[in-house]
């Protein structure tokens, strides 16, 4: 295998460019372009043939092992929410509370708050029906509401514990979890505001998208045989995964090992939280609304076909990222950045950004960057380890593009083309990363 850092980085850049060209110029399906790009990177890096296929398959499997069930269950909840009239109830409440002119703020706040305890993918599939119903009711542009939503979700996912990236960085850097949480919220909320309602009003002037097949499935209707669920029941069902994951996080922080803590941690895993919430939705949005078992089964089956292409693309993005990882791109970045005489906070952020651009996964970027920065933090006693976690988390979000599963998920849900997704989601993620670093450096002036 090739070990020259400069050559490996060049291969990674060419591999990403190849994927973009295959999709936008050659018009290959996205999952096929990603698989081709992974093959080209593996061959160019002189990986053994068997390792190329095994690493791609492992990346697909690891990605879909979490994402497939979460998206599937979330889509079933969304379909039931729409058919029961629950999404109309929530969207009407948001319109009354915020007014139609501030719905972008409402979606950003919803994404940031719900994104605190849940994964990005979970938050998106839970809030998608509300988004699509608001667009249908008010005539607001899809991107004008959708981009603030994903800005809130992404900022919380990358910066705030208990998400896996920040939690792993806390452990590696021996940072204090409570202070890290406080600092991440102080930095994260203004970042979500800037990347959400503020930035998106500029982005959407030149880019527009119309709801697609997923929106048609999940937009709210009034075709309920009984009365729509109350706002309280609707919010309880939507927020059940949030509550279960939050309970698991609190149990880990406050309870001694035992049966209760184990049960809460089990129920709070993303898969179990979504499964339990889906079972609740079958009752609150299904049977309690007067739908029969045959109709409920029909809703569940109708919800799944539109997400098949989403899963293929997201899985292939995970496979492409794994090939880049095993080709040694992350190690090449670490070697290229070694010995740079700059602020430790900026250095941690910069390493995370390069890893994110090359490898795609925000979590991998955080974990790898934190591992690289841990001995540096030990050698420099004046470094604020909590702020370093926040800086690394911000860097891990920059420039999400074709090797990032979230890129394809946002593309499919917001029904944008690849160039449009690069002009919206990729720009938004870059603003989150830059504002996150700026906020961290400003906070460092106050607390250190």
pLDDT tens, N- to C-terminus, the chain (448 residues): 777 777 887 887 788 788 778 877 787 877 888 789 889 989 998 888 888 889 889 888 876 776 677 777 877 887 787 778 776 777 677 777 777 788 888 889 888 877 765 667 767 877 888 888 888 888 888 899 999 999 988 998 888 776 667 777 777 788 876 678 788 888 999 999 999 899 988 888 888 888 877 777 766 554 444 577 888 888 888 778 778 877 887 887 788 888 888 998 888 877 788 899 899 989 998 888 888 888 888 888 877 776 676 677 767 777 877 787 788 776 776 666 555 567 888 988 988 888 788 767 677 677 667 766 776 777 677 788 889 999 999 998 988 887 777 888 888 888 888 889 999 999 999 999 999 999 999 999 988 6
In a domain, 195, yes or no: no
In a domain, 44, yes or no: yes
Residues in CB range of 82: below 8 A, 6 or more apart: 129, 132, 133, 217, 218, 219, 220, 221
Chain-centroid distance, C-alpha 123: 8
179-180-184-187 Cα dihedral, nearest 10 degrees: 60
Contact status, residue 370 vs residue 169, Cβ threshold 8 Å: yes
Among the three residues 256, 277, 307, which one is the final residue of a domain in this structure? 307
Same domain for 133 and 235?
yes
Same domain for 296 and 369?
no
Q: Please give the structure tokens belonging to residue 201.
A: 């009003």
Q: Please give the structure tokens belonging to residue 239.
A: 């927020």
Same domain for 244 and 104?
yes
Among the three residues 253, 276, 307, which one is the final residue of a domain in this structure? 307
Same domain for 316 and 364?
yes
In a domain, 196, yes or no: no
Greatest extent of the chain over all pairs of C-alpha atoms, in Å: 67
Query: For the chain, how many residues are written?
Result: 448
Q: Rounded to whole angstroms, how far apart are CA atoms 205 and 125?
A: 26
Helix (H) or strand (E) holding 337: helix 329-337
Same domain for 56 and 67?
no
Q: What does R_g of the chain's alpha carbons equal in angstroms?
A: 22
Same domain for 260 and 158?
yes
pLDDT at residue 221 in the model: 52
Q: Rounded to whole angstroms, how far apart are CA atoms 331 and 309?
A: 33
In a domain, 89, yes or no: yes
Contact status, residue 153 vs residue 388, Cβ threshold 8 Å: no
Residue 395 structural domain: 5-61+311-447
The contacts found for 140-143 with CB under 8 angstroms, 24 or more apart, are: 140/100, 140/103, 141/204, 141/208, 141/209, 142/208, 142/209, 142/210, 142/211, 142/215, 142/414, 142/415, 143/200, 143/203, 143/204, 143/207, 143/208, 143/209, 143/414, 143/416, 143/424
Q: Rounded to whole angstroms, how far apart are CA atoms 142 and 145?
A: 6
DSSP assignment of 289-327 equals GT--HHHHHHHHHHHSGGGHHHHHHHHHHHHHHHHHHHT
Same domain for 315 and 293?
no
Buried residues in 348-382 as b, exposed as e (16+ CB within 10 A): bbbbbbbbbbbbbbbbbbbbbbbbbbbebbeeeee
Structural domains of the chain, count: 2
pLDDT at residue 226 in the model: 53
In a domain, 140, yes or no: yes
Residues in CB range of 325: below 8 A, 6 or more apart: 55, 59, 359, 364
Q: Rounded to whole angstroms, how far apart are CA atoms 375 and 395?
A: 19
Same domain for 421 and 356?
yes
Same domain for 55 and 71?
no
Strand, helix or coil at 190?
helix
In a domain, 381, yes or no: yes
pLDDT at residue 228 in the model: 79
Contact status, residue 241 vs residue 118, Cβ threshold 8 Å: yes
In a domain, 335, yes or no: yes
pLDDT at residue 274 in the model: 81
Same domain for 116 and 46?
no
Kindly report the backbone phi and psi dihedral angles of residue 119, in degrees, each rounded to the nearest multiple of 5, phi listed first.
Answer: -70, 155
Using CA of residue 160, residue 161, residue 163, residue 166, what is the dihedral sign?
positive
Same domain for 315 and 427?
yes
pLDDT at residue 190 in the model: 94
Q: Rounded to whole angstroms, how far apart are CA atoms 423 and 199?
A: 12
In a domain, 440, yes or no: yes
pLDDT at residue 150 in the model: 92
Q: What is the pTM of this model?
A: 0.69
Contact status, residue 351 vs residue 342, Cβ threshold 8 Å: no
Among the three residues 307, 333, 351, which one is the final residue of a domain in this structure? 307
Same domain for 402 and 300?
no
Q: Rounded to whole angstroms, how far apart are CA atoms 188 and 184?
A: 5
């Amino acid at each position: 295998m090739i070990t020259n850092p400069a050559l490996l980085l060049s291969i990674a850049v060419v591999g990403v460019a190849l994927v973009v060209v295959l999709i936008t110029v050659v018009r290959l399906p996205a999952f096929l372009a990603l698989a081709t790009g992974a093959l080209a990177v593996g061959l160019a890096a002189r990986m053994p043939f068997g390792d190329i296929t095994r690493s791609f398959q492992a990346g697909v499997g690891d990605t879909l092992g979490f994402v497939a069930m979460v998206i599937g269950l979330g889509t079933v909840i969304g379909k039931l929410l729409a058919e029961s009239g629950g999404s109309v109830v929530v969207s009407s409440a948001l319109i009354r509370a915020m007014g139609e002119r501030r719905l972008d703020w409402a979606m950003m706040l919803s994404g940031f708050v719900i994104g605190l305890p849940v994964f990005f993918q979970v938050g998106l599939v839970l809030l998608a029906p509300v988004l699509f119903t608001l667009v249908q009711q008010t005539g607001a542009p899809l991107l004008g509401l959708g981009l603030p939503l994903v800005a809130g979700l992404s900022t919380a996912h990358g910066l705030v514990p208990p998400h896996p990236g920040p939690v792993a960085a806390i452990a590696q850097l021996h940072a204090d979890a409570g202070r890290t949480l406080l600092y991440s919220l102080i930095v994260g909320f203004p970042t979500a505001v800037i990347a959400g309602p503020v930035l998106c009003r500029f982005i959407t002037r030149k880019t527009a998208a119309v709801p697609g097949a997923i929106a048609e499935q999940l937009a709210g209707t009034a075709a309920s045989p009984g009365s729509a669920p109350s706002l309280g029941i609707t919010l309880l069902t939507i927020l059940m995964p949030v509550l279960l994951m939050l309970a698991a996080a609190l149990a880990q922080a406050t309870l001694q090992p035992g049966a209760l803590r184990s049960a809460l941690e089990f129920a709070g895993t993303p898969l179990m939280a979504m499964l339990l919430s889906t079972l609740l939705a079958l009752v609150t949005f299904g049977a309690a609304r007067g739908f029969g078992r045959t109709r409920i089964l029909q809703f569940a089956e109708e919800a799944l076909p539109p997400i098949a292409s989403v899963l293929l693309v997201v899985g292939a993005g995970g496979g492409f990222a794994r090939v880049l990882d095993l080709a040694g791109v992350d190690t090449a970045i670490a070697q290229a950045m070694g010995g740079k005489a700059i602020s430790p906070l900026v250095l941690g952020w910069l390493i995370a950004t390069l890893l994110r651009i090359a490898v795609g996964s925000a979590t991998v970027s955080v974990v790898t960057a934190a591992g690289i920065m841990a001995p540096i933090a030990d050698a420099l006693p004046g470094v604020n380890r909590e702020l370093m976690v926040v800086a690394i988390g911000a860097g891990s979000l920059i420039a999400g593009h074709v090797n990032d599963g979230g890129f394809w998920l946002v593309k499919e849900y917001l029904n944008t083309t690849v160039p449009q997704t690069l002009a919206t989601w990729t720009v938004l993620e870059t603003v989150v990363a830059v504002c996150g670093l700026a906020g961290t450096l400003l906070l460092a002036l106050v607390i250190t």
